[in-house]
């Protein structure tokens, strides 16, 4: 398969790494000065990797297109217009957009809006399995099936969403957690380090195995989730009512930045990324062994 990776920043480079690792030819494109050098330096020797600064050339012979441009609708429309005209009509154009709706994106591809959808990964895509597949109003079932098959073929876990919402599914769940986390920091209840420890040493471990709702089901013993909801439901509602309503003021932003710098204690970002990726790999390995 020939894959066009449009935009080679953090996400695009990771997509390229994933598709190359599964034996596909990748044609990458990015207009930024030095983009090819940065990509090749990150990926190392990659015989199946080609690069062009012209997006139309990149997608002309592609069997699948993964678009990773900046998260600005006007920019996406201009780019998708180029991709739509240059790509074969049956080829899916999947956008990595984390916030934009596919129906809005497809307005930039008036010739074949039926092949435009969101294929939103989690960073880094070459390690984290989840890809949210979000069809728009014009997206054809065939395009959804094709994208789902492509992502599954490279070891991802495609999750088709049943409705279009800003932020899709997983980002909305993250945003709910961040809202309360930022509120706790704003109120001085906890530091950034406290919040991170509370998740990594507590529920985050369970969530990596089963997810929040199934994990809650196990907390109910023989009665399962029904028992939990019966006995803890009123208390949970009381907690919801007590959750913070936070505003991202400049003061709060400064506090968060200062405290996260204190939490990482001068660690090299590259070292932090390596540690993160090592843990992700270890969790995935352990989980796959348990599922055998």
Residue range 128-164, pLDDT digits in tens: 999 999 999 999 999 999 999 999 999 999 999 999 9
Q: pTM for this one?
A: 0.92
Tokens standing for residue 45: 């020797």
Class of domain 170-290: mainly alpha
Q: What is the pLDDT of residue 152?
A: 98
Q: What is the pLDDT of residue 290?
A: 81
Tokens standing for residue 286: 């352990």
Q: What is the pLDDT of residue 65?
A: 98
Domain boundaries, the chain: 2-160, 170-290
Mean local confidence (pLDDT), 96-101: 96
Q: What is the pLDDT of residue 45?
A: 85
Instruction: Identify the DSSP state of 37.
Output: H
Using CA atoms, how far apart are residues 186 and 100, in angstroms rounded to an integer? 29
Q: Which residue has the higher pLDDT, 290 or 218?
A: 218
Q: What is the pLDDT of residue 291?
A: 75
Domain at 2-160, CATH from 3.90.870.40, 3.40.50.2300, 3.40.50.720, 3.90.550.10: 3.40.50.720
> If you count DSSP H runs as helices and E runs as strands, how many of each does the chain have, helices first?
13, 8
Position 292 pLDDT exceeds 90? no
Residue range 217-257, pLDDT digits in tens: 999 999 999 999 999 999 999 999 999 999 999 999 999 99
Q: Which residues pair with 3 in a beta bridge?
A: 26, 64
> Going by C-beta distance under 8 Å and a sequence separation of 6 or more, which residues neighbour residue 71?
97, 98, 99, 100
Position 288 pLDDT exceeds 90? no
Q: What is the mean pLDDT of the chain?
A: 96
Q: Say if residues 208 and 287 touch (Cβ distance below 8 Å).
A: yes
């Amino acid at each position: 398969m020939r894959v066009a990776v449009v935009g080679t920043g953090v996400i695009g480079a990771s997509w390229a790494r994933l598709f190359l690792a599964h034996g596909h030819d990748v044609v990458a494109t990015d207009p930024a000065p030095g983009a090819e050098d940065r990509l090749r330096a990150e990926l190392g020797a990659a015989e199946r990797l080609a690069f062009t600064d012209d997006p139309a050339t990149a997608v002309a012979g592609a069997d699948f297109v993964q678009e990773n441009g900046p998260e600005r609708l006007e920019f996406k429309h201009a780019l998708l217009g180029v991709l739509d005209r240059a790509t074969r009509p049956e080829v899916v154009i999947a956008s990595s957009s984390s916030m934009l709706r596919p129906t809005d994106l497809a307005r930039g591809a008036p010739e074949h809006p039926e092949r435009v959808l969101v294929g939103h990964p989690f960073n880094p895509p070459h390690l984290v399995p989840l890809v949210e597949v979000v069809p728009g109003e014009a997206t054809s079932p065939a395009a959804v099936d094709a994208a789902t098959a492509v992502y599954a073929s490279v070891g991802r876990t495609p999750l088709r969403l049943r409705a279009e919402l800003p932020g899709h599914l997983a980002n909305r769940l993250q945003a709910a957690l961040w809202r309360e986390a930022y509120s706790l920091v704003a109120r001085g209840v906890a530091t950034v380090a406290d919040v991170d420890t509370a998740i990594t040493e507590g529920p985050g471990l369970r969530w990596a195995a089963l997810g929040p709702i199934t994990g809650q089901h196990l907390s109910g013993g023989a009665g399962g989730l029904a028992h939990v909801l019966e006995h803890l439901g009123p208390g949970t509602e009381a907690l919801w009512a007590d959750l913070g309503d936070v505003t991202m003021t400049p003061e709060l932003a400064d506090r968060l930045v200062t405290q996260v710098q204190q939490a990482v204690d001068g660690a090299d970002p590259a070292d932090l990324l390596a540690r993160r990726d090592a843990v992700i790999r270890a969790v995935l390995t352990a989980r796959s062994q348990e599922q055998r």
